Structure formats: structure tokens, C-alpha cells
């Protein structure tokens, strides 16, 4: 698990390292520049480029990002490359560090230009703006960035692609499309969210010597998971029995929709749940028994006009985890089922799909939920459209700052929110995870139902809501990545993700 920071948090890490600990700013800058120069050299070595024949342009602004760039040009020259600086902006307004770097570079006769022909260079280093970017990019800066993007050169961005907002990943008018980004110390939130992550492309996190204490001093609240976090998988004892791994009740499925609850149930089993029961309409009995004989069934007939409450209550008592929503529909009986769950459930509940739509449509259900919820019990798994229905906010508003939106909503409603998008946000209102696994093949029917099943499977094995949400989403993405053959994301279907799960569930 690694932290992600906003630009203000990163500035505080810088400040703490320099002012409180006493590491000179120039030392950090030198190490930063060295790590970028090494990345450029590695690229040339991989390409088997001979040194002097490669012309490298380092485009520098007047902030400290530009100072890094000037030092990169100087180091590359020392190594035998032909690297020159294109300096943008007024030198008199440069930071002290950048002025200092310019004077060193001049003494070593590094070429410093104010305009150039971009097509002369095989490699461009982008050191125009880093985390200090504070407004939309216009004028000459904009023209230069557009020219960089039009070249065929390989582009390496220093710290973050110039033009990407470090907190939200949005493009501030225009942004550099990098092939590689070398970022310092900690990844910035904006370079893992879309579209920022597309612009950053491959990212190297360079250790430039920020002390651990400096990072801890800002108490990061946003994280992402990595393969080593597979240790979060719940333990499985050698002398175990199915009673130890929980009982998942999935309330879902309707006449024309049996697949959703089937996928959730199968994914819950494949994640390690002890027993899974599907509560659904009688019409789904044969298909579910044929497709997933491992699942227990509790069926009901809606046309009877029966009061479902007693039947549901019996099942609620049986379950250690409840899922409500996959393929449920939003008819009257579905509303009744949700009402009963909200009223009587005492175990963790995942509110998914149509159950979210029902909450969004019925104010009395929202109020019932709010009156019953004491915290630590509910996970909501909306995609952006469902989130918008639920909160009444537009998708644009939600997307404008996905992480803080998700955190605030989770805090306000006292839930664990799994806000599904190309980068899913998981938050309990205190911290948030941004999921970085998965691929665009997952934009396919049933993918969300599989996720719900995985989260339920983890809850059944006693993961906390936040662990089940964050790790479940991560595992879901890894499983999907496993099933992509030679980059073909077109053909991925939801049941493939369950297949991938089988291969990914190892510590």
C-alpha cells in the first residue's frame, strides 16, 4: 500500500524536509535531476542510441520544476549527451534555486535558448510546470506544449506532465503527453486519475531523499494497492470447515435477469465464502440450480401477492453478509425486500445496483436507511450514474473531484463507498483508496456483479468494510488483467473475470 498526495501535501513534505529536518533544497533538486537523467540514459541504452548523436531538449519553466530541468541538461551533457535548455518565461522571475542552476549550467557552457525547432530533437524533457501549476495554461506556454505533443520525440516529464492538475488529474487547458514521468518521492493523486494517468503514461517514483518522517508529517489520506498487498487476503486455516468462512445471502435476480445474481454468487464462492445463498424469484430456480449447483436457493413468487417479510427475516438471520440489488429490478416487491433489509439486517450489507436505484427513487427508504445506519455496516457500490441518481449531483460535479467527493459522501452517510469508474474510489470517509488495477475490457455487462460477489466473499471472511472494498476492487481488476490475451480487451466478459480470480487469489 502506497500513499498518494495532493500538491499541498507534497509542498508540506518538501517544506518539512528542508525547513524542519534541514536537508538543503539544492540537494533534493540535484537528486531529482539525477533520477530524471538516469531515466533518459536508460531509455537511450535500451534504444542502443549512441550518445552524441542524440539531441535532447530540456524545456524549462522558471519555477523549481524548471530548475530540475536545467540540472538534468547539465548532468546529461556531463555524460556526453547533447542536451540543451529551452527556457520559457522571464529569467528575472525565476526561483532562487532555478537561478542558481542556470548559473551553474552557464559556467559549464550548457546551451540555453529561448526558441528552437522542436523537430531537431529525438528526446524532450518536460520541466515546464510541476506541482506549482496554479491556473489554466495560455499564450506561449500553451503553444510550446502543443508543439511538444506534435513532435515524434520521446518525452519524459519531470515530476508530473506540465498541464496536469496534481490533485484531480484534469488538463489545465493543455498538457504534455509523456512517454515516461519521473515523479519525486510520492505519486501525486492527479497522475493516477484519468485523464492525468494517460498523460503521465509510465511512471517511475524516484527516491530523492524525502525522509519518512516528512511523509508521515502530512498524514496522507489517499492510498493505492500494489501486488504485495495481496497479503490482505484473509487467512485460511488448514483445519477448516465451511462454517468458518461465512454465509453470504444475495437478494437479487428477477424474471428477465438471472445472470446478475449468478455472477455475484459465483464470485463470492470463488473468493472463498463458505456458503452462498441466492434469494430470488421462483422462475430463476432451474437456471440457477443448473448453472451454480453449489449455491443454496430461497425462492419466492411475486404474483402470489404474498407478504415476503417473514421469508426474508428467516434468511437475514441465517446470513453473516447480505447483498441486495444485483438484477433485482425496482418493482414493488423489490422495494419491500429492501425495506425489510434496511429495517432488520444486523450484519454487513452491500447495497448494489437496483437497490441503489430504489434508494434514489424513494425518499422514505433513504430516511429509513439513515435512521437505522449506525456506521460500519453498509457498503454502497454505485457507478457514476447511480451515484448521481443517489445524491442528485451531476456526473460532471462528481467527476470534477472524484476523490474528495467520494470521501465526503462516505463520511456524510456513514458508509463505505465504492464509487465505480475507470479509477474506482473506495472510502469510509476517513481515508480513500484509488484503484489502479483493471482495464477497459471491464466495461461490460456483469462486471459490477462480479465485483459485488468478491467484496461479499471478503466480508464473509471477516475483512472490514474498507478492506473488503479496497482489496475487492483491486482483486477484481487484477483478475480481469489476467484474462486479457495479447492486449485484447474487447473480448473480456464478466465470467472471464471470475476465471481470472481463481488464478489471482494467492498470497
Ligand X SMILES: NC(=O)C1=CN([C@@H]2O[C@H](COP(=O)(O)OP(=O)(O)OC[C@H]3O[C@@H](n4cnc5c(N)ncnc54)[C@H](O)[C@@H]3O)[C@@H](O)[C@H]2O)[C@@H](O)CC1
Binding stretches for ligand X (CB under 6 A): 14, 18, 25, 28-29, 32, 61-66, 68, 95, 129-137, 141, 158-159, 184
Q: Of ligand X, K ion, none, which one does residue 157 interact with (CB within 5 to 8 Å by kind)?
A: K ion
130 annotated ligand-binding residue: yes
- Output 143 or 226, the one with its CB closest to K ion: 143
55 annotated ligand-binding residue: no
Instruction: Please check whether residue 148 is in contact with residue 161, taking contact to mean a CB–CB distance below 8 angstroms.
Output: no
- Nearest distance, CB of residue 64 and ligand X, angstroms: 3
Q: Of ligand X, K ion, none, which one does residue 121 interact with (CB within 5 to 8 Å by kind)?
A: none
Instruction: Please check whether residue 211 is in contact with residue 176, taking contact to mean a CB–CB distance below 8 angstroms.
Output: no
- Nearest distance, CB of residue 177 and ligand X, angstroms: 17
Could you write out the DSSP letters of every residue in 16-41? Answer: IIIIII---HHHHHHHHHHHHHHHHH
What are the b/e assignments for 144-162, b being 16+ CB within 10 Å? bbeebbebebbbbbbbbbb
- Nearest distance, CB of residue 343 and ligand X, angstroms: 52
Closest CA relative to residue 55, chosen from 80, 33, 88: 80
- Nearest distance, CB of residue 189 and ligand X, angstroms: 14
- Nearest distance, CB of residue 129 and K ion, angstroms: 6
Q: Of ligand X, K ion, none, which one does residue 137 interact with (CB within 5 to 8 Å by kind)?
A: ligand X
375 annotated ligand-binding residue: no
- Output 32 or 87, the one with its CB closest to ligand X: 32
- Output 85 or 260, the one with its CB closest to ligand X: 85
- Output 89 or 331, the one with its CB closest to ligand X: 89
Closest CA relative to residue 111, chosen from 33, 55, 41: 55
Q: Name the residue number minimizing CB distance to K ion.
A: 162
CA angle 109, 111, 114 (to 5 degrees): 140
Q: Of ligand X, K ion, none, which one does residue 153 interact with (CB within 5 to 8 Å by kind)?
A: none
CA pair distance 325, 302, nearest whole angstrom: 16
Q: Of ligand X, K ion, none, which one does residue 32 interact with (CB within 5 to 8 Å by kind)?
A: ligand X
157 annotated ligand-binding residue: no
- Output 126 or 504, the one with its CB closest to K ion: 126
Residues in the chain: 507
Non-local CB neighbours of 260 within 8 Å, separated by 6+ positions: 252, 253, 326, 327, 353, 446, 449
Q: Identify how many contiguous H helices and E strands the chain contains and give both numbers.
A: 19, 19
CA pair distance 115, 380, nearest whole angstrom: 53
Q: Of ligand X, K ion, none, which one does residue 348 interact with (CB within 5 to 8 Å by kind)?
A: none
Site residues for K ion per CB under 5 A: 126, 157-158, 162
Place of cell 441486495: 324
132 annotated ligand-binding residue: yes
209 annotated ligand-binding residue: no
Binding residues: 64-68, 126, 130-136, 141, 159, 162, 260, 327, 383, 420-424, 448-449
Amino acid at each position: 500500500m502506497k500513499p498518494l498526495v495532493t500538491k499541498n501535501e507534497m509542498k508540506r513534505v518538501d517544506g518539512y524536509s528542508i525547513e524542519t529536518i534541514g536537508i538543503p533544497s539544492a540537494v533534493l533538486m540535484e537528486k531529482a535531476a539525477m533520477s530524471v537523467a538516469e531515466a533518459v540514459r536508460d531509455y537511450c541504452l535500451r534504444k542502443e542510441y549512441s550518445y552524441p548523436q542524440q539531441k535532447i531538449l530540456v524545456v524549462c519553466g522558471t519555477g523549481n520544476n524548471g530548475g530540475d530541468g536545467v540540472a538534468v541538461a547539465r548532468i546529461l551533457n556531463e555524460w556526453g549527451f547533447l542536451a540543451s535548455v529551452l527556457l520559457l518565461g522571464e529569467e528575472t522571475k525565476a526561483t532562487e534555486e532555478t537561478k542558481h542552476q542556470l548559473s551553474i549550467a552557464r559556467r559549464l557552457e550548457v546551451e540555453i535558448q529561448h526558441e528552437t525547432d522542436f523537430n531537431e530533437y529525438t528526446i524532450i524533457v518536460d520541466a515546464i510546470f510541476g506541482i506549482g501549476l496554479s491556473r489554466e495554461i495560455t499564450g506561449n506556454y500553451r503553444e510550446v506544449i502543443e508543439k511538444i505533443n506534435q513532435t515524434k520525440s520521446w518525452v519524459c516529464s519531470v515530476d508530473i506532465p506540465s498541464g496536469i492538475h496534481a490533485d484531480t488529474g484534469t488538463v489545465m487547458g493543455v498538457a504534455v503527453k509523456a512517454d515516461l514521468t519521473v515523479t519525486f518521492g510520492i505519486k501525486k493523486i492527479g497522475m493516477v486519475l484519468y485523464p492525468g494517468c494517460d498523460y503521465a503514461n509510465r511512471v517511475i517514483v524516484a527516491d530523492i531523499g524525502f525522509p519518512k518522517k516528512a511523509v508521515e508529517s502530512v498524514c496522507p489520506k489517499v492510498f493505492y494497492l500494489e501486488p504485495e498487498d495481496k497479503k490482505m487476503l484473509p487467512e485460511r486455516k488448514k483445519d477448516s470447515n465451511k462454517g468458518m468462512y461465512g454465509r453470504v445471502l444475495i437478494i437479487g435476480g428477477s424474471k428477465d435477469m438471472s445472470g446478475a445474481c449468478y455472477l455475484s454468487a459465483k464470485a463470492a464462492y470463488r473468493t472463498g465464502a463458505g456458503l452462498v445463498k441466492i434469494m430470488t424469484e421462483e422462475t430463476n430456480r432451474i437456471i440457477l440450480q443448473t448453472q451454480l449447483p453449489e449455491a443454496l436457493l430461497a425462492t419466492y413468487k411475486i404474483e402470489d401477492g404474498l407478504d415476503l417479510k417473514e421469508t426474508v427475516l428467516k434468511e437475514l438471520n441465517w446470513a453473516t453478509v447480505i447483498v441486495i440489488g444485483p438484477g433485482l429490478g425496482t418493482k414493488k416487491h423489490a422495494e419491500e425486500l429492501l425495506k425489510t433489509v434496511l429495517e432488520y439486517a444486523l450484519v454487513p450489507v452491500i447495497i448494489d445496483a437496483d437497490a441503489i436505484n430504489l434508494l434514489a427513487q424513494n425518499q422514505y427508504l433513504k430516511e429509513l436507511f439513515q435512521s437505522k445506519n449506525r456506521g460500519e455496516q453498509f457498503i454502497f457500490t454505485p457507478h457514476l450514474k447511480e451515484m448521481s441518481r443517489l445524491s442528485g449531483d451531476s456526473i460532471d460535479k462528481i467527476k470534477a473531484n472524484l476523490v474528495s467527493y467520494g470521501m465526503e459522501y462516505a463520511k456524510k452517510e456513514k458508509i463505505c463507498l465504492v464509487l465505480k469508474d475507470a479509477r474506482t474510489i473506495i472510502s469510509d470517509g476517513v481515508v480513500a483508496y484509488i484503484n489502479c488495477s483493471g482495464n477497459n475490457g471491464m466495461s461490460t455487462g456483469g462486471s459490477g456483479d462480479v465485483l459485488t460477489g468478491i467484496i461479499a466473499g471478503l466480508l464473509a471472511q471477516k475483512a472490514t468494510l474498507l478492506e473488503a472494498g479496497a482489496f475487492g476492487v483491486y482483486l477484481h481488476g487484477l483478475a480481469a488483467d489476467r484474462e486479457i490475451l495479447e492486449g485484447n480487451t474487447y473480448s473480456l466478459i464478466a465470467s472471464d473475470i471470475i476465471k481470472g480470480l481463481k488464478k489471482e487469489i494467492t498470497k
